[in-house]
Amino acid sequence: MSGEHDLQGHCAVVTGGGSGIGAATVRCLAQRGAAVAVLDRVIDGARAVAEEVGGHAWEVNVADPEATTAAIGAAAAAMGGLTDVVANAGFGLNKPLHRYSDKEWRLVVGVNLDGTFHTMRAAIPLLLAGGGGNIVTVASLNATRPLSGEAPYNAAKAAVVNLTATAALEYAPTIRVNCVSPGMIATNLTTIITTDPHFTALAEQGTPLGRIGSAQEVADVIAFLCSPAAAYLTGQNLIVDGGAGLPNLQADTIVRAVQERYS
């Protein structure tokens, strides 16, 4: 992975940076030399993480286009420029598709997809004016392996992957745009799994690498994509899931049955 100080001189904005993968990303970028601004709808969390790294904090809901543009502009001004943007803010609900209300659908899609668009749209002119840089979006394994009960989240994250590739085409070679899609990661959003030994064991059994990932491991990949080591990568979706998306339930079940009969 990238070197310890390979982001020296970089100025980064991380949305949803007050907790989880976002907070780990803020710390990781700062440890590698970047100045970092933390954007989050929960200002206390944003301030706490920003104070850890000597950065800046803004309260913003990325579903609000005007507020997002204002916050990213203010962050760039405070840091003296903008070179890297991590569009990480997101959340999901879980219920059958037909039970989602219009309000719930718009809420989930508004943060995960619209929020990513608002973040990119606000940042791109600043990156272009500064001579270029990097955008890293955060989607999910759900974008390619949809999870039952999370229809709006699945759809929004799949669209984020496509939006990322589209932006990579439009703004190359000046701006590199890549995506990271985490699988099961230990954060506050997955405590129902990570605090229950039974659920944890099931998650580990379903992951080829045999464990649940950490926020730091996702942050390391994001930092790599912002670094010179990833200079020839753009338009990519890097899935960080410990191999969880590899098994084919139908084929694996058949193969096991055949092996048991003829072994």
Single-letter code of the amino acid located at 51: E
Q: Which residue in the block uniquely carries the two structure tokens 């301030």?
A: 47
HSE (side-chain half, CA atoms, 13 Å) at 34? 34
Single-letter code of the amino acid located at 87: A
Determine which one of 153, 171, 232, 262 is catalytic.
153
Tens-place pLDDT, residues 30-46: 999 999 999 999 999 99
Tens-place pLDDT, residues 152-205: 999 999 999 999 999 999 999 999 999 999 999 999 888 888 898 998 998 998
Domains and CATH numbers, the chain: 11-262 (3.40.50.720)
Single-letter code of the amino acid located at 1: M
- Judging by beta carbons within 10 Å of its beta carbon (0-12, 13-18, 19+), is residue 242 exposed, middle or buried? buried
pTM, two decimals, is 0.93
CA distance 161 to 26: 22
Q: If you ran DSSP here, which 8-state letter would residue 242 be given?
A: T
Single-letter code of the amino acid located at 86: V
The answer to whether 153 is a known catalytic residue is yes
